[in-house]
């Protein structure tokens, strides 16, 4: 593993005061399954140890790294890097084993400074590579959340769109339903109302299909009190589609975004210092902004900054480094304490 190219990256990270750590090759499956459930299970290589405990080969190095930090109970800022392979099942037999060098900043208190450090370090690694033509694509998931929360659609739909942003296929289906309301069956609605009238008179603790009557009633009442409207749904879907097409140079991004938000009267303003880097000039490297970066991946956990550093290899662009901020990974997906963090991973297959 420690080739000449590997040592280049190793030395860059050491000079930036990142400390090398070793990661366990396996993790307890519960950390993945208790929050992500069956949706992720199909990608795991799992087995049971002699104590009956279910373990999995690490499907992602970042997950192994944040589990290590969260379980250490430390609250101090920590800069680490590591290397190794991640193992994830693939039906097309590609990328079953992914070799990476990862870097992270834990207990990151100053978001812009630490985000900038990760990107600056990534650019230094790019400079040490054999590639000359590259592009850095930056996005920020907070912008999408802000947009959705300003739209005139039911709260349950706002939560649904935010949750499934990364799942491009299902997200498209949600937008079709939102703009047409064709999935609303008047006969089914009438039947639900009759069922509701019966259920409110019965024992609220009774369970049906894994949910209590109380939960079902609460869900139905939210639909009654905050119904989906055809006119506002169609307008909102149009705004979302337009937003996801925004792509421009990074320097122009604040102006382009503010123009879009003003056009739709959304009361959102993007400060010129919103992005961690600006006005960078590196020969043969383009700096771009996109609202759709990262969509279509199998699993995502970024909640703010997200970036991809791609290089031209044999007349096409491939990913060299990708990363972002994942403040909610430990608490939302792994059931551990919240750890503000930002990081990135170098794809060694494309670096060497």
Based on the fold, state whether residues 213 and 336 are members of the same structural domain.
Answer: no
The answer to the question of residue 164 being in a domain is no
In this structure, is the dihedral angle defined by the CA atoms of residues 17, 22, 25 and 26, taken in order, positive or negative?
negative
The last residue of a domain, from among 227, 261, 281 = 227
CB 199 within 8 A of CB 213: yes
Q: Please indicate, yes or no, whether residues 95 and 213 belong to a single structural domain of this protein.
A: no
Name the DSSP class of 339.
Answer: -
Both structure tokens of 346: 């170098």
| Dist. CA 44–CA 41, nearest whole Å | 5
121 and 218 housed in the same domain: no
**Alpha-helical regions (H) of the chain:** 4-15, 30-36, 38-41, 61-72, 111-128, 141-150, 155-163, 168-180, 186-199, 213-225, 230-243, 253-263, 348-351
By the 8 A CB rule, do 326 and 301 touch? yes
* Residue 32: closest CA among 339, 340, 341, 333: 333
Q: Which residues contact 163 (CB under 8 A, 6 or more apart)?
A: none
CATH, residue 42:
3.30.930.10
Percentage of residues of the chain with pLDDT beyond 70: 82
Report residue 316 as tokens.
Answer: 């096409």
Spatial CA neighbour of 56 closest among 13, 87, 91:
87
Per-residue confidence at 95, pLDDT binned at 50, 70, 90? low
Classify residue 179: in a domain, yes or no: no
Q: How do residues 235-266 score in pLDDT, each as one tens digit?
A: 999 999 999 999 999 999 999 999 999 999 99
- Contact present, 36 and 333 (Cβ < 8 Å): yes
Domain co-membership, 69 together with 123? yes
Q: Tell me the per-residue pLDDT of 198-227, one tens digit each, with 9 for 90 and over.
A: 667 767 777 776 677 777 766 665 665 555
Is 252 inside a domain boundary?
A: no
pLDDT band at 4 (very low <50, low <70, confident <90, very high): low
Global confidence as pTM = 0.81
Q: Are residues 8 and 135 in the same domain?
A: yes
Q: What is the DSSP secondary structure assignment for residue 315, as one 8-state letter?
A: T
Tell me the residue range of the domain where 88 lies: 4-140+299-351
Q: Is the pLDDT of residue 234 over 70?
A: yes
pLDDT for 303-344, tens place per residue?
Answer: 999 999 999 988 889 999 999 999 988 887 777 888 999 999
Report H helices in 4-133: 4-15, 30-36, 38-41, 61-72, 111-128
Residue 272 domain flag: no
Distance between CA atoms of 254 and 235, rounded to whole angstroms?
24
46-62 mean pLDDT:
87
Q: Tokens standing for 78? A: 């920590």
Q: Does residue 185 sit in helix, strand or coil?
A: coil
- Structural contact between residues 289 and 275, judged by C-beta atoms closer than 8 angstroms: yes
Q: Identify whether 168 is part of a domain.
A: no
Q: Are residues 17 and 116 in the same domain?
A: yes
Instruction: Write the pLDDT tens digit of every residue in 145-175.
Output: 999 999 988 888 999 899 889 888 889 999 9
- 233 has pLDDT over 90: no
Quick one: 318 and 215 in the same domain? no
Distance CA 59, CA 52 (A): 20
Are 212 and 134 members of one domain? no
Mark whether 133 and 220 lie in a shared domain.
no
What is the Cα–Cα distance from 63 to 251, expressed in whole angstroms? Answer: 33
Residue 300 has pLDDT above 80, yes or no: no
Boundary-marking domain end, from 196, 227, 258: 227
Please indicate, yes or no, whether residues 189 and 136 belong to a single structural domain of this protein: no
In a domain, 165, yes or no: no
- Tell me what percent of the residues of the chain surpass a pLDDT of 90: 41
Residue 236 lies in a domain: no
Does residue 250 lie in a domain region? no
Residues 52 and 113 both lie in one domain: yes
- Mean pLDDT on 135-141: 95
Mean pLDDT over each residue of the chain, to the nearest integer: 84
Last residue of a domain, one of 197, 212, 227: 227
Question: How many domains would you assign to the chain?
Answer: 2
Contact 19, 81 (CB under 8 A): yes
Among 201, 199, 203, 191, CA closest to 216 = 199
């Amino acid at each position: 593993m420690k080739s000449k190219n590997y040592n280049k990256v190793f030395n860059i990270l050491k000079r930036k005061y990142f400390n090398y750590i070793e990661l366990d090759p396996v993790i307890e499956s519960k950390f993945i399954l208790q929050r992500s459930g069956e949706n992720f299970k199909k990608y795991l290589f799992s087995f049971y140890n002699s104590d009956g405990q279910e373990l999995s080969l690490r499907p992602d190095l970042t997950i192994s790294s944040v589990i290590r930090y969260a379980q250490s109970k430390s609250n101090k800022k920590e800069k680490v890097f590591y290397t190794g392979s991640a193992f994830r099942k693939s039906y097309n037999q590609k990328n079953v084993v992914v070799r990476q060098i990862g870097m992270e900043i834990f207990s990151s208190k100053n978001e812009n400074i630490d985000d900038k450090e990760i990107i600056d370090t990534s650019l230094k690694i790019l400079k040490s590579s054999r590639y000359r033509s590259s592009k850095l694509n930056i996005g920020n998931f907070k912008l999408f959340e802000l947009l959705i929360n300003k739209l005139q659609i039911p709260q349950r739909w706002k939560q649904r769109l935010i949750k499934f942003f990364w799942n491009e296929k299902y997200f498209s289906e949600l937008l079709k339903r939102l703009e047409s309301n064709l999935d609303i069956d008047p006969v089914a609605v009438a039947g639900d109302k009759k069922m509701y009238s019966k259920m409110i008179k019965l024992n609220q603790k009774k369970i049906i299909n894994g949910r209590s009557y109380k939960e079902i009633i609460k869900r139905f009442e939210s639909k009654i009190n905050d119904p989906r409207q055809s006119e506002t749904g169609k307008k909102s879907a149009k705004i979302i589609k337009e937003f996801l097409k925004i792509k421009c140079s990074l320097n122009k991004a604040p102006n382009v975004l503010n123009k879009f938000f003003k056009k739709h009267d959304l009361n959102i303003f993007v400060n010129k210092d919103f992005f961690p880097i600006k006005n960078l000039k590196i020969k043969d490297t383009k700096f771009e902004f996109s609202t759709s970066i990262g969509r279509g991946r199998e699993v995502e956990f970024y909640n703010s900054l997200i970036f991809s550093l791609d290089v031209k290899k044999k007349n096409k662009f491939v990913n060299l480094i990708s990363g972002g901020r994942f403040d909610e990974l430990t608490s939302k997906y792994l059931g551990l304490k919240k750890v503000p963090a930002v990081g990135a991973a170098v794809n060694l297959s494309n670096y060497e």
